[in-house]
Amino acid sequence: MKLLLDFLPILLFFGAFKLYNIFVATGVLMAATVVQMGITYALDRKLQTMQKATLALVLVFGALTLLLHDENFIKWKPTVLYAAMALGLAFAVWGLKKNFLKLMLGSQLELPDAVWMRLNLVWISYCVFMAIVNAYVAAYYSTEQWVNFKLWGYVFPLAFIVGQGIYVSRHIKGEDEKQQEPGA
């Protein structure tokens, strides 16, 4: 059920695009994301930071897409967002000496600092890769082909999440390990 709820706005977006156009699909995505977050809040009595950020980004950039009414804006938006994320993570870790991934997720995951650093580097690399791939598709393909790429391109984030999960799971301490630590 949760998986369906997570992908429902995306599925509705693609359905609306196929039936109407990119602008109707954007409105559907915005409305579906609001409903999705409402259901999530009703079930969990809270929204995670990432859920709040997703909602804000969908609403702000969706509104800009509808206001500007420019297909190029929607096609290039992911490139800009991925590049901004890569730059933000890089600046935070090397400029500010802060690991934003650890700051955002550290209360949920107990990992060694070296693992947090590797995760940050992997996220930077992933965001750069996705920015380049989206830029290429946005520049050389039609809006319909770009939307199809976004649909089938979900293999990239899914593979990334699975790979990240496998990597992180090797470094999470089990309850037995925590109890064996001195002072635990």
pLDDT in tens, 18-53: 999 989 999 999 999 999 999 989 988 988 877 888
Q: At residue 172, does pLDDT exceed 60?
A: yes
Q: What is the CA angle 14-153-8, rounded to 5?
A: 40
Between these two residues, 176 and 125, which has the higher pLDDT value?
A: 125
- Rounded to whole angstroms, what are the CA distances from 28 to 1, 9, 16, 34, 66? 20, 8, 7, 10, 11
Q: Are residues 51 and 86 in the same domain?
A: no
Q: Is the residue at 181 inside a domain?
A: no
Q: Is the residue at 183 inside a domain?
A: no
Tokens standing for 178? Answer: 């925590």
Average pLDDT over residues 137-145: 93
Residue 151 pLDDT: 79
pTM above 0.95, yes or no: no
Domain span at 49: 1-68
Q: Are residues 83 and 58 in the same domain?
A: no
Q: Are residues 18 and 51 in the same domain?
A: yes
Query: What does DSSP assign to residue 46?
Result: S
Contact indicator for 124, 100 with CB cutoff of 8 Å: no
Q: How many domains does the chain have?
A: 2
Nearest to 75 by CA among 65, 83, 85, 67: 65
Q: At residue 99, does pLDDT exceed 50?
A: yes
Residue 175 pLDDT: 45
SS3 content of the chain, % helix, strand, coil (to 5): 80, 0, 20
C-alpha 181/C-alpha 127 separation (Å) is: 36
Q: Are residues 20 and 58 in the same domain?
A: yes
Q: Are residues 50 and 82 in the same domain?
A: no
